[in-house]
Structure 1
Amino acid sequence: MTNTFSILVVDDEPDNFDVIETLLSEQNYQLHYAANGKNAIASLDAFKPDLILMDVMMPEMDGIEVCKRIKANPEWQIVPIIMVTALNSKSDLANCLNAGADDFISKPINSVEMRARVHSMLRIKQQYDNIQALSEIQSNTINILESTLNELRGTLSSRMSHELNTPLNGIMGTISLLKEDIENMDILEIREMLGWVDDSAQRLENLTKKFLLYLELESSPSRQQSFKTAQTKFSSDTVISTLKSYVYNLKRSKDDLVFDLENAEIAISDRYLLTILHELVDNAVKFSASGTIIKINSQVVDNMFNLSVHDLGRGMTKEQVERIGAFVQFERKTYEQQGIGLGLRIVKKIVELAGGIFAINSIYQQQTTVNISLPLRS
């Protein structure tokens, strides 16, 4: 044992303390002495013992009573007590154990037995302390997590099941209706209901793909190496066509998009570039009103490709911007929207793995601009 352990010896005979001190002198122990039970109890806070060696036969308050009082205090219940006794009947030993003693040593004291029992009790105490420390760390972690639960909107625990169940219920409910009454439906009704199923299936598919992409990015640190060899062409014509088609599918007018784009060869794959574009535009559409302008700009500056998406939506506070992360959605009770708050976290992770820069500038209830910088192809 490398730690210095505090041992309190309680005995009305000072000579007995000298004997114990001699027996344990070669060990890494700090010994303290109390001449009676009252002094022992009073000195607990000062000595903070890891172990107590208690003589049973003492005047005024015997060792069994002192042991009971110490063990009745929750603060000291975990401190092992070894009773040192000349008594050897089974009833006497039973009284010691019933009082809360953890072990006992019979007089006359055997040096080998003394060192072995002290060592054993201190090892148990150290293991308990280690477990207690770990428990406190876990408790503090849980408290921190619990303190933020009310602020986390769309967390995995509270939103994932809802986002999965909603499209699943739509699919299952529509199929159930079709099975029950398809013979009495005309083809237009059937087509309409199949459209509902298709919408729900696409929503479920998009959510699943997004979540799998998030796991892929977060669980593979070595993936950064693959970014160094990736490359794709950022073509203004292709991007404009792709994003106009994307917002149309989101039931938003293509005219809401305004572009000012510069072509570039960037060090990122087609897949990740498309993910970035879709997620940034999706957020701009989701959090701004139809008919307001969404600006998408790109330009090359200092060997970096800079892309920005600007909307005139509800914006974010400084605190919300600082807490952009997985499964976080802000003000969800006020503004109902689909999703689990994962999009910006995915974009941020892709940009970081590509060796780029991710930043958000926002004015609450007015506007938001997401800026990213990506390295050009070598």
Structure 2
Amino acid sequence: MPSILVIDDDPDNFDVIETLLSEQNYLLHYAASGQQAIASLNLFQPDVILLDVMMPGMDGIEVCRQIKAMPQWQPVPIIMVTALTAKEDLARCLNTGAEDFISKPVNAVELRARVHSMLRIKQQYDKIQNLAHIQANSIQVLEKTLNQLRGNLAATLPHELNTPLHGIIGSLNLLMADLENMDMGEIRELVSWADESARRLEKLTQKLLIYLEVELATQQKPISKPQSTKFSIVAIAPPLQSLARSLNRSHNLIFAIAEANVSISAEYLATILYELVDNALKFSQPGTEIKITSEVAPGMLNIYVHDWGRGMTAEQTSQIGAFIQFERKTYEQQGLGMGLNLVKKIVEGCGGEFSISSVYKQETTVNISLPISG
């Protein structure tokens, strides 16, 4: 549960924030002064700090400066809560290290949005830090995958990173250059482009982080996420239908699901299904069916994803690996070509099995078997 620290000399303001965030799944803490807050950081372990600027004694700007001077707390986003409106005052807040600010009186929708945004930043930082702490066998992993990182990766990664970055930067440049002369429709369109590009970049970053996490973990031992996750139509269908809908193929997905609890984390299960269905959508024609089925076997849940698409040769299926895309130049598809290898590593790391049967230029079925929990 995310921990939110509210620093304000007026307890009534804390009551207001507590009310505005009451429906969120947050653990709220309160400190009546900067000194008390700093002394209690280790106790509260905040993920986000809401800091009032105008406080007697040590004001919020000084509190922010002192917190950001401590290395262990530098990554924690600070949102300054202020009645100040002058640009110079707001600039002082940001210059001390604050990530954001919100004006009084606090608006409920704005507060929830800003807290949610800062929590996402903190969560991404924590993921990166966790990966940085995994040191054992990292050199061996890099040596093993060096050849895979050459060739296709050198050609595709810059493109996959630069395309969304250019979309974001280009949209913002157009906004800044001619904002005064744009109508609301034009502004919304540019913001939509920037948002789409940012989401594409976020997905790419998350995929790379998950791949590195799995790669490093499986060099030492099976993936250590011994969770039980419900595999059911209610759990898996909505995100996959949303993915298909974004490509105008919502009617192409067919489900025939036998339910079971499987020994894999919800995050890894979602990654597996997303990559398999994304591949099926990418490499099959609109209007053709993509069928996701499952059946319970002794101790295992067998999951199949079938498409009537391009298929693969026997040689291609034997060469599945990170950052390898077959016939990329012919079909000009997006991506790094790491999806199937990522799925294979997650499944095998969780004690499952992975296999592919395919008829070239006709059909493909990916079969994964996951241990049933309990």
Which TM class, normalised by the smaller chain length? 0.5 to 0.7
1:348 aligned residue (330, 339, 344) = 344
Match of 1:211, as an amino acid? L
2:163 aligned residue (162, 166, 174) = 166
Distance 2:338 2:279 in 1: 10
Distance 2:224 2:169 in 1: 40
Distance 2:254 2:184 in 1: 40
Deviations 1:173-198 (A, max 9, x none): 11111111111110000100111001
- 2:196 is aligned to 199
Q: Is the 8 A contact 2:214 2:223 kept in 1?
A: no
Larger Rg over CA atoms: 1
Evaluate the alpha carbon distance shift between residue 174 and residue 215 of structure 1 in structure 2; reply closer, same or farther with a 3 A threshold.
same
Distance 1:185 1:236 in 2: 45
Residues 15-54 of structure 1 aligned to structure 2 (within 5 Å): none
Q: Does 1:333 align with 2:329?
A: yes
Distance 1:200 1:332 in 2: 22
Identity of aligned residues (%): 53
Q: Is the 8 A contact 2:322 2:338 kept in 1?
A: yes
- 1:188 is aligned to 185
TM-score (norm 2): 0.59
- 1:274 is aligned to 270
Match of 1:186, as an amino acid? D
Distance 1:310 1:257 in 2: 10
2:241 aligned residue (237, 241, 244) = 244
- 1:118 is aligned to none
Distance 1:177 1:145 in 2: 41
Deviations 1:315-340 (A, max 9, x none): 11111111111000010110011110
Q: Does 1:262 align with 2:280?
A: no
Displacement of 1:242 in angstroms is 2.9
Deviations 1:345-364 (A, max 9, x none): 11000001011110011111
TM-score (norm 1): 0.58
Distance 2:147 2:351 in 1: 30
Distance 1:364 1:225 in 2: 33
What SS does structure 2 have at the residue aligned with 1:362? strand
Provide the aligned length of Structure 1 versus Structure 2: 229
What SS does structure 2 have at the residue aligned with 1:324? coil
Match of 1:263, as an amino acid? E
What SS does structure 2 have at the residue aligned with 1:178? helix
Q: Does 1:287 align with 2:287?
A: no
Displacement of 1:165 in angstroms is 0.6
Match of 2:234, as an amino acid? D
What SS does structure 1 have at the residue aligned with 2:368? strand
Q: Does 1:176 align with 2:148?
A: no
Distance 1:235 1:292 in 2: 24
Match of 1:320, as an amino acid? Q
- 2:67 is aligned to none
Displacement of 1:240 in angstroms is 2.2
Distance 1:200 1:322 in 2: 34
Q: Does 1:320 align with 2:322?
A: no
Match of 2:201, as an amino acid? L
What SS does structure 1 have at the residue aligned with 2:330? coil
Distance 1:305 1:369 in 2: 16
Match of 1:183, as an amino acid? E
Q: Is the 8 A contact 2:223 2:346 kept in 1?
A: no
Displacement of 1:145 in angstroms is 5.5
Match of 2:249, as an amino acid? S
Evaluate the alpha carbon distance shift between residue 274 and residue 182 of structure 1 in structure 2; reply closer, same or farther with a 3 A threshold.
same
Runs of 4+ in 1 over 3 A off after TM superposition: none
Match of 1:232, as an amino acid? T
Q: Does 1:226 align with 2:224?
A: yes
Distance 2:345 2:206 in 1: 16
- 1:371 is aligned to 367
Q: Is the 8 A contact 1:257 1:295 kept in 2?
A: yes
Distance 1:182 1:242 in 2: 35
What SS does structure 1 have at the residue aligned with 2:321? coil
What SS does structure 1 have at the residue aligned with 2:242? helix
Match of 2:301, as an amino acid? F
Distance 1:237 1:220 in 2: 30
RMSD of aligned residue pairs (Cα, Å): 2.0
